Amino acid sequence: MTQGGPSQEIGDSIPNNTAHAVSVTLPTWEATVGYEEGEDWVVSKMKSGYPRFFIHSVIKDLAKRIESKYARTGEVCMLFPSSAVAKRCRDFIRAKSDKPALLTTPAPKTDFEKSSVLECTVVCVIMPAEDFPLAKQYWQHAGEGVSSRMAEYVLKELFEKEEKLQRRSHSRSKQELQAQSIQRKSPSISASMRSDSLSQNENVDRDFNTFIEQKYGRVLDLKFATQAKVALRRRIAGKADQAQSDLTDANGQGLDKKRGSYVSEDDVYLYPSGMASIFNAHQAVLGISPVKKKSICFGFPYVDTLSILRKFGPGCYFYGFGDDESLDVIEKGLASGEIDIAGFFCECPSNPLLKTPNLKRVRALADKYNFVVVIDETVGNFLNVSVLAYADMIVSSLTKIFSGDSNVMGGSLILNNASPKYAELKKHFTENYEDIFWAEDALYLERNSRDFEQRSRKVDDTSLAVVSLLQSSPLVSTVFYPSTSDSKKYYDEIKTPNGGYGSLISFVLHDPKRALACFNALNLHKGPSLGTNFTLACPYAILAHYQELDEVEKWGVDRNLIRISIGLEDKDELLATLQKSLDIAAAVP
């Protein structure tokens, strides 16, 4: 399906041979279960993973170097890009540790150095080893840890350069001693030369990965990072604004033209991950609320969204079905005073059930009862849906289809300048926002996203064909997709004139044994994430909710659900691949 074919080796990066990949190969149902149960035959082979769940080897290497210098026996550290983030982590784990250690790389000394040298700070939260699992929860939920590219840069600037100088000095001293006895020794490979060769080989994998990134990843000079971030903010603002304008023109008076009529790049905020944008949206909701109130999580969401709302602040009310009946209950509770909320969080559409909430009704309730609406449009994306008229804040994971290449993390948050909460929210972000999006990641994301629109159109078209194939199969009991959902009418209200229904599809087979066989037979990339330029599949409930399968089934997420994110492959070839896997499943008695 892709150059060299999708890897079927457990633990291989997705894409193959990508140093900073954001997915990992779990090629079978059994391997996914083994990963969730921590079985050595799976875990020991993991070379990479989704960055909020799997700490990259480069980050681990940097952490160990720092621990050897600053930590006491029995202590470990976790790395963050700012003091504010580190403090939030310490508050979360209630650490009694020392003040976080700050390490800063040298600033460029000349204009020439600005292409490859950038002053940056990494902040180390040092804690007792027993606190690390709690810190790891913060890392996963908040999405604000250092990126692997940032760790790689700090490792090079603060440790490896010094080590190379020491090795050269050591080698020079040995060569001087060897020169004194050269008359008495026949030519041979000296011990120092062998030592140099070994030390050089220590970094051969990293050097190779750097070469691959620079040659094929289209890396740009660091001095362009600021411009790249401006370009990203303008691109996001432009797409969101265009979607709003197109929908207004198409619907005429059906949409409130006073809302979201213009998106400024100054109201777009970049984050190191999509979850970081959700986390900071929640912090903003809490920050502008004079009384700490709960928020609502509406619809069955991605796992960490619910964790953020539950674990940070006063908690949340969870309405997992995300349907009209749920809104009836909410409206009744608000009217009676039984519930009083600060914020309302929903996905549009939801992951993995692809439901769309009645946003018009949500907005009306927000205006009446004075709460903030936060909409995550990652799965829908800026081009397909326009939710600005109904949101106070829009959040999105730029890691997904906006990037597509599956080699960089990123997130965005948009403020609606027509929101009744705009002044309060703008003040909050003016006072609290800090740019912790690493320069190299911004450069990669800017390059990756230049053809975002063309890619989105193609995967939308292919997805419709895949949905038709799945619906026609007697093996498949249910297909989850915005156009097949009971909530299609609500999606169509926010769908842009040229938009589609997205690239994410979930489906359930009648027979669980055949679901396993179908998934195992798929000759596709298989692992976490979505929105990639290549088709990517996973047994979603097993991967995301293995410890709570009975609970999630109460909300309609079948434990045997297969989720597939459609990529840029040839449509007919992809359909043939899917049909073959269904045929293999059909042969299972």
| Tens place of pLDDT per residue across the chain (589 aa) | 444 589 999 999 999 989 999 999 999 999 999 999 999 999 999 988 898 999 999 999 999 999 999 999 999 999 999 999 999 999 998 855 566 778 888 888 888 888 888 889 999 999 999 999 999 999 999 999 999 999 999 999 998 777 666 666 555 555 555 545 444 443 333 333 333 433 344 454 555 454 444 444 455 688 899 999 999 999 999 999 887 776 666 555 444 444 545 799 999 999 999 999 999 999 999 999 999 999 999 999 999 999 999 999 999 999 999 999 999 999 999 999 999 999 999 999 999 999 999 999 999 999 999 999 999 999 999 999 999 999 999 999 999 999 999 999 999 999 999 999 999 999 999 999 999 999 999 999 999 999 999 999 999 999 999 999 999 999 999 999 999 999 999 999 999 999 999 999 999 999 999 999 999 999 999 999 999 999 999 999 999 999 999 999 999 999 999 999 999 999 999 999 999 999 999 999 9
Note the CATH number of domain 453-586: 3.90.1150.10
Contacts 24+ apart (CB under 8 A), 89-96: 89/125, 89/135, 89/138, 89/139, 89/142, 90/125, 90/127, 92/134, 92/135, 92/137, 92/138, 92/311, 92/312, 93/127, 93/131, 93/134, 93/135, 93/138, 95/125, 95/127, 95/131, 95/135
Q: By the 8 A CB rule, do 405 and 533 touch?
A: yes
pLDDT tens track for 113-144? 888 888 899 999 999 999 999 999 999 999 99
- What percent of the chain is modeled with pLDDT above 70? 86
Residue 156 CB neighbours (<10 A)? 17
- The CA angle 150-305-423, to the nearest 5 degrees, is 85
3-state secondary structure of 260: coil
Collapsing DSSP states into helix, strand and coil, what is residue 214? helix
Fold of 57-149: Alpha-Beta Plaits (3.30.70)
**In CATH terms, is domain 222-450 a member of 3.60.15.10?**
no
Name, in order, each residue with C-beta under 8 angstroms of 466's C-beta and a sequence gap of 6 or more: 505, 564, 566, 574, 575, 578
Q: What are the residue ranges of CATH 3.30.70 in the chain?
A: 57-149
The ranges of the chain annotated as CATH 3.40.640.10 are: 222-450
**Looking at the chain, which residues constitute the CATH 3.90.1150.10 domain(s)?**
453-586
